[in-house]
Amino acid sequence: MAARKEMDPIGFVFLGTVTGIGGGTFRDLVLGAPVFWTQETAYLWTCIGASLVTFWAARLLASRLRALLWLDAVGLAMFAVGGTQKAALLGAPAVVCVLMGVMTATVGGLLRDIMAGSKPLLFHREIYATAAIAGAATYLGLRHAGLDEIVAALAGFAAAFGVRACAIAFGLSMPNYKQS
């Protein structure tokens, strides 16, 4: 059973790439912008490379999927702020910017969970959305308050990562990768 769950590198890289670009793809489609990775393939190669590194590095860890959980929290925070930034840059209203931040951060992970056949838990998803909203709102609020772009982005990152890290630490949102 556990052996069947072991993926080959191709499947793993595919899932990793979808996770990495899924949210941003959705954001660009909704905003009517050209999809970022069709313009600049460096994003694709980065995802492919990062997935391969994770695949081999994770062999050393107790569980490959556990390692992904933390990578995921970093990605969530980064994407929440990045998605909000891009929407703001394109002149979208504040509420649309926050929603784009949340979508950029959550859609990739959601697609991965669905494709990997693990059931996205209610609570799991909820904390995701809450963490992303915290990050997006912190960033936008500080920008409106006149703070520097970099400072606002870092504070937004910290807010999103903080909420998610608490959830992981308290075991609230461990995806049920054991079931199938």
Residues in touch with a second copy (CB under 8 A) = 4-5, 7-8, 10-11, 14, 17, 25, 29-32, 34-35, 37-38, 41, 44-45, 92-93, 95-96, 99, 102, 110, 114-127, 129-130, 133, 180
Minimum CB–partner distance for residue 148 and a second copy (Å): 27
Closer of 22 and 82 to a second copy (Cβ): 22
Q: Residue 95 or residue 169: which is nearer to a second copy going by CB?
A: 95
Please classify residue 21 by burial: count the beta carbons closer than 10 Å to its beta carbon, then call 0-12 exposed, 13-18 middle and 19+ buried.
Answer: buried
CB 109 to a second copy: min, Å: 11
Q: Which two tokens stand for residue 55?
A: 């695949």
DSSP string, 13-38: HHHHHHHHHHHHHHHHHHHTPPPHHH
Residue entry with tokens 């520097």:
148
Q: How far is the CB of 80 from a second copy (least distance, A)?
A: 13
* Pick from 20, 79, 78: nearest CA to 49: 20
Tokens linked to 52:
């391969």
Between 29 and 151, CB nearer to a second copy: 29
DSSP H stretches of helix in 32-180 = 36-39, 42-58, 64-89, 94-115, 122-144, 149-169
Is residue 120 within 8 Å of 114, Cβ to Cβ?
yes
